A = this chain, B = another copy of it.
Amino acid sequence: MRRCIATVSLSGMLREKLQAAAAARFDGVEIFENDLLQVPGTPREVRRIAEDLGLTIDLFQPFRDFDGVSPTQLLRNLERAERKFDVMQELGAPLILVCTNAQPSASGDIDLLAEQMHQLAERAALRGLRVGYEALAWAPKISRFGQAWQVVQKANHPHLGLVLDSFHTLALRDDPLPIADLPGEKIFFLQLADAPWIDTDVLSHSRHYRCFPGQGEFEMARFTAAVLDAGYTGPLSLEIFNDEFRAAPARPTAADAMRSLLWLEEQMRSVPSLKTGVPHGESRRVQLFDPPSPPQLQGWSFIEFAVDASHAERLSAFLRTIGFKHIGRHRSKAVDLYGQGEVRVVLNLEEDSFARAYFEAHGVSACATALATTDALAALGRAEALGCTRMAGRVGQNELNIPAVRAPDGSLLYFFDVHSGGEHGFEADFVLDEQPAADTAFGGQARIDHVVQVLPAGQVEPWTLFYRAVLGLQPTSSMVMNDPYGIIKSRVMESRDRAVRYALNVSERASTSTARTVSQFGGAGVQQIAVAVPDLVATARRLKALGASLLPVPGNYYDDLEAKYDIAPALLATLREFGIFYDRTADGELLQLYTTPFEDRFFFGLIERRGNYQDYGVANAPFHLAALAQFREHAQ
């Protein structure tokens, strides 16, 4: 299908917006009039710029409150429309979008509206233009597509049709399925926007919270499939207003926009047609994007840190105090491998490498993560199809070529194929000196449970879409955590079987743990590697014996635990002794222990999930964050 984007979805001046849309390979744009009014060029010049970029201008949206007005006002509005038709002809835009009137005084009389829209369509027809009528969710009279359709049907003019917008329908929780029964050729245009469910008025919801399909919580595929069922074959067009996008650079936003459409098309493939029962992917009426399936993920193969020699020494010492052992050296590169249980950490101090460049930009930080998967090439193919950039490093003779793509923050995401010797098969590239014994501090079965990433403001949506589209993860929960210096928002994304889980943390306040870490990294980064161990108390005991630096937890916390839960005195004493956080739900229990941070950048969490506890101990977050703040204060 043709793919379009409204210029209002992108930040900056019109030329930047058009360039960004073209770079992301959109076919065309909708122009919101303000974008045109604020540039010096004439409409004809704008058309030239778009043409030179290979973009059509599919739609123009020049005003509000046209319809349902008095006869005198109608004449003025028609006169105004004629001026806008002049502009459209110069722009080469064939379709004008007219939203239903949002004024309280507007009439809701279908006959009157039909008559007025007929007049407009008649004038448009004389110019060879078409009029699209869209129900605005907050219009007092005509707010649903069904009502707008009554007007269009009654007006019965070949140059008048409907414009549908997923936001306006879904935000009102209006049922989209009846769309399938509309005549497809009367749907002139389809606008798409997703959104989180927010308890606010629909106008604020629309103005501030719209996002690209896949970034929000609306049932986008179901809505869009209903439109396909009607026989619509026009463009899919993104119209998003959002405080973040208005402020983000246009090019990455446009790239994300394209990824969201591709993801949506793939989702629609499997939705069965309401009329034929055949999935839309199998019909031949429209072409839908068909990438390789999402990868089967089996956890992390390794996490790679960028270091220089002096940091390598310090980080190595830090890892050893928490039980990691040096288990190998890369055959051809200055890369060291550390491990314990099933966890592998790589320290890359190779000069003239991606890791070194990353180190120069971000300091000591995780520059790459490797996910174990059953088909690495398919995973790579999917990522590339969804607009990711493939990254290739130098590979020595007889060494593994592990495919990688660039993550949204510029770090690497490797796909390691488990057929190359299991999830640790990459160790073939290393000269191994010691196998990580089962008697390390974490224990033999220790494995990465989840990874906590800190993100700059505005980056949660792009990462959500990246993980959802590229890896097939699902957003499962959103939380707000109180740091002593401001709030932190967290969104959890999980693979279906929870083999891979990420928490995406963001804070707009400068002094929270999240924001300080973002500032240290100069961008996004891995703040916590949470390792699941079979027996956290035993692990804590061994860590203490090793002299590991564990984050202290105030005694008052345990006094409250005692008051809150019916907890065995011996267990309580142990939790208190080691500074272990505790949570309990109907499903089970969680024990959490944290190391102090390495140079105020990242730390390890050790967790033990008892029973079927699958959450993240958010009730303990304020105490963990306060303990981090307290530690930082004393470390200064």
Give me the interface of A with B, judged by CB distance under 8 Å: 11-13, 33-34, 36-43, 62-63, 76, 79-80, 83-84, 87, 198-201, 204, 207, 243, 246-247, 457, 480, 482-487, 508-512, 552, 554-557, 559-560, 562-564, 566, 622-623, 626-627, 629-630, 633
A485 near B247 (CB under 8 angstroms)? yes
A246 near B39 (CB under 8 angstroms)? no
**Complex formed: what's the CA distance from A37 to B630 in Å?**
12
**Complex formed: what's the CA distance from A246 to B508 in Å?**
11
A485 near B11 (CB under 8 angstroms)? yes
Q: Which residues of B lie under 8 Å from residue A37 when comparing CB positions?
A: 554, 556-557, 559-560, 623
A482 near B557 (CB under 8 angstroms)? no
A34 near B201 (CB under 8 angstroms)? no
Of the candidates B204, B484, B563, which one forms a contact with A12 in the assembled complex, judged by CB atoms under 8 Å apart?
Answer: B484
- A614 to B: closest C-beta gap in Å: 22
Identity of the chain B residue whose Cβ is nearest the Cβ of A46 in the assembled complex = B556
Contacts A34-B622, A38-B623, A83-B562 given; does A243 touch B557 at CB 8 Å: no
Q: Which residues of B lie under 8 Å from residue A243 when comparing CB positions?
A: 486-487, 509
Q: Which residues of B lie under 8 Å from residue A247 when comparing CB positions?
A: 485-487, 508-512
- A75 to B: closest C-beta gap in Å: 11
B482 near A34 (CB under 8 angstroms)? yes
Q: Which residues of B lie under 8 Å from residue A38 when comparing CB positions?
A: 484, 554, 556-557, 622-623, 626-627, 630
Q: Which residues of B lie under 8 Å from residue A563 when comparing CB positions?
A: 79-80, 83-84
Q: Which residues of B lie under 8 Å from residue A552 when comparing CB positions?
A: 40
Q: Which residues of B lie under 8 Å from residue A11 when comparing CB positions?
A: 484-486, 511
Identity of the chain B residue whose Cβ is nearest the Cβ of A486 in the assembled complex = B247
Q: Which residues of B lie under 8 Å from residue A79 when comparing CB positions?
A: 563
Top 9 A-B pairs, shortest CB-CB distance: A38-B626, A247-B486, A247-B509, A83-B563, A199-B201, A80-B563, A37-B556, A40-B554, A246-B486
Contacts A39-B630, A556-B42 given; does A246 touch B80 at CB 8 Å: no
Of the candidates B199, B512, B562, which one forms a contact with A200 in the assembled complex, judged by CB atoms under 8 Å apart?
Answer: B199
Q: Which residues of B lie under 8 Å from residue A627 when comparing CB positions?
A: 38
Contacts A83-B563, A555-B42 given; does A485 touch B246 at CB 8 Å: yes
**Complex formed: what's the CA distance from A555 to B36 in Å?**
10
- A70 to B: closest C-beta gap in Å: 15
Identity of the chain B residue whose Cβ is nearest the Cβ of A507 in the assembled complex = B247
- A362 to B: closest C-beta gap in Å: 19
Of the candidates B201, B487, B560, B630, which one forms a contact with A13 in the assembled complex, judged by CB atoms under 8 Å apart?
Answer: B630
Q: Which residues of B lie under 8 Å from residue A484 when comparing CB positions?
A: 11-13, 38
A-B contact pairs, 23 of them (CB 8 A): A12-B629, A13-B633, A34-B622, A37-B554, A37-B559, A38-B484, A38-B554, A38-B623, A38-B630, A40-B552, A42-B556, A62-B560, A80-B563, A83-B562, A200-B200, A243-B486, A246-B483, A246-B485, A246-B486, A246-B487, A247-B511, A247-B512, A508-B508
Q: Which residues of B lie under 8 Å from residue A512 when comparing CB positions?
A: 247
Of the candidates B555, B566, B629, which one forms a contact with A40 in the assembled complex, judged by CB atoms under 8 Å apart?
Answer: B555
Identity of the chain B residue whose Cβ is nearest the Cβ of A564 in the assembled complex = B80
- A291 to B: closest C-beta gap in Å: 33
Of the candidates B33, B76, B559, B622, which one forms a contact with A560 in the assembled complex, judged by CB atoms under 8 Å apart?
Answer: B33
Identity of the chain B residue whose Cβ is nearest the Cβ of A17 in the assembled complex = B484
**Complex formed: what's the CA distance from A199 to B204 in Å?**
9
**Complex formed: what's the CA distance from A629 to B34 in Å?**
14
Identity of the chain B residue whose Cβ is nearest the Cβ of A82 in the assembled complex = B563
- A581 to B: closest C-beta gap in Å: 11
**Complex formed: what's the CA distance from A246 to B12 in Å?**
32
Task: For the A-B complex with A83-B562, A200-B200, A247-B486 known, give 5 more contacts whose Cβ atoms are closer than 8 Å.
Answer: A11-B511, A12-B484, A34-B623, A199-B200, A246-B485
Identity of the chain B residue whose Cβ is nearest the Cβ of A480 in the assembled complex = B207
A83 near B559 (CB under 8 angstroms)? yes
Q: Which residues of B lie under 8 Å from residue A562 when comparing CB positions?
A: 83
With most chain B CB atoms within 10 A of its CB, the pick from A33, A199, A480 is: A199
- A465 to B: closest C-beta gap in Å: 20
A509 near B36 (CB under 8 angstroms)? no
With most chain B CB atoms within 10 A of its CB, the pick from A40, A62, A557, A564 is: A40
B13 near A626 (CB under 8 angstroms)? yes
Q: Which residues of B lie under 8 Å from residue A509 when comparing CB positions?
A: 243, 246-247
- A129 to B: closest C-beta gap in Å: 16
Identity of the chain B residue whose Cβ is nearest the Cβ of A80 in the assembled complex = B563
Contacts A556-B39, A557-B37, A622-B38 given; does A629 touch B486 at CB 8 Å: no
A559 near B87 (CB under 8 angstroms)? yes
Identity of the chain B residue whose Cβ is nearest the Cβ of A204 in the assembled complex = B199
Identity of the chain B residue whose Cβ is nearest the Cβ of A79 in the assembled complex = B563
Q: Which residues of B lie under 8 Å from residue A564 when comparing CB positions?
A: 63, 80
A566 near B76 (CB under 8 angstroms)? yes
Q: Which residues of B lie under 8 Å from residue A480 when comparing CB positions?
A: 207
Q: Which residues of B lie under 8 Å from residue A629 when comparing CB positions?
A: 12-13
**Complex formed: what's the CA distance from A552 to B41 in Å?**
13
Identity of the chain B residue whose Cβ is nearest the Cβ of A623 in the assembled complex = B38
